[in-house]
Amino acid sequence: MIILGIESSCDETAAALVTADRQVLAHRLLGQEAAHAPFGGVVPEIAARAHVEALEPLIVAALADAGLKLADVDAIAATAGPGLIGGVMVGLVTGKALAHAAGKPLIAVNHLEGHALSPRLSDPDLAFPYLLLLVSGGHCQLLLVEGVGAYRRLATTIDDAAGEAFDKTAKILGLGFPGGPAVERAAALGNPKAVPLPRPLKGSAEPHFSFAGLKSAVARVVGDYPPEDIAASFQAAVVDCLIDRTTRALNGLTVTPTALVVAGGVAANGAVRGALQTLAATRGLRFVAPPLWLCTDNAAMIAWAGAERFAAGLTDPLDTAARPRWPLDPAAEAVRGAGVKA
């Protein structure tokens, strides 16, 4: 069984072909960093136009890489949200058109489900339930992944996502865009204890994350310390918060997870991965993190989520709507704070 995956919810246009037995036959990706760099962040209108231009050639190239025709594909999985709505619509409409033209089923994938199930693509032994820390540019959540389509949200951010904090810190320090990798490189040259920075919600009885205060604190000390020391101290503060909140979630679980898992763009960060690995070891848990290319946005994770849903008999009608917001756990309570994306 072969699934074509399409991703266009943020600033990466991507197409991939993945089989139900975990072979990635092709995966193509075109980033838009250069187009957004002058603005220091993703501009939705520019992103949507870039997806329109890039997507079809990427699908054609992915099929050619795999030596396949559209007729060889068993189903088409496209991200249907959450994300920047113009971009999501480009990918979803393309998926619908291909599904209709080729007479194949459509699978509308939640982008967060793509991240949440991606560790099962790289690790065939990863069984449900697992505790997932999903840390990306748009999201920072702890989820108990109980099965395909069964996600319990244990915590989310009340303001900024962790990746957003990395991106804003990079902007404040003048390190460029995208910020996460730039902050990590600068941090490698700095002293993580040099700058006193807050750890918002660390030790709090509520389960959630908060990063807005940390970002503001960075803005207040800029110029007082070498940027490398600020970057290193910022990264250490983020790691502290992630570990504290993840530990709290582990302590509150009523089931024993098979593993501690991290996914999403910030999972590419070495300090974050290292600290989570240590936490897992102290709790006697397996630690699973997808390879770096599978952590940041890509279409293989969308194809894989499509394969998991298809195997469970889940397909979607061609009038499925694109959704700018789409919580993975519909039962999760709304949290205080504004600007929360899911």
Interacting residues with ligand KG4 (CB under 6 A): 10, 136-138, 163-164, 166-167, 178-181, 184, 264-266, 268-269, 296-297
Least separation in angstroms between CB 83 and ligand KG4: 8
List the one residue from 13, 32, 122, 136 that touches Zn ion (CB under 5 A). 136
Q: 7 contacts which partner out of Zn ion, ligand KG4, none, CB within 5 to 8 A by kind?
A: none
Q: State the DSSP code for 197.
A: -
Peptide bond connecting 207 to the previous residue in cis, omega within 30 degrees of 0: no
269 in a labelled binding site: yes
List the one residue from 297, 306, 308, 328 that touches Zn ion (CB under 5 A). 297
3-state secondary structure of 154: strand
In whole angstroms, what separates CA 132 from the centre of its chain?
11
Q: 296 contacts which partner out of Zn ion, ligand KG4, none, CB within 5 to 8 A by kind?
A: ligand KG4
> Which CB atom, from 11 or from 297, has the smaller least distance to Zn ion?
297
State the residue for tokens 């250490």.
236
> Which CB atom, from 136 or from 210, has the smaller least distance to ligand KG4?
136
Quote the CA–CA distance of 110 and 134 in Å, as a whole number: 14
Q: 290 contacts which partner out of Zn ion, ligand KG4, none, CB within 5 to 8 A by kind?
A: none
Q: 304 contacts which partner out of Zn ion, ligand KG4, none, CB within 5 to 8 A by kind?
A: none
Burial 233-264 (b: 16+ CB within 10 A, else e): bbbbbbbbbbbbbbebbbeeeeeebbbbbbbb
135 in a labelled binding site: yes
Q: Give 153's contacts (C-beta < 8 A, 6+ positions apart).
A: 141, 142, 143, 327, 328, 329, 332
Binding site for Zn ion (CB under 5 A): 136, 297
Which residues fall in the annotated binding site for substrate?
134-138, 167, 180, 184, 269
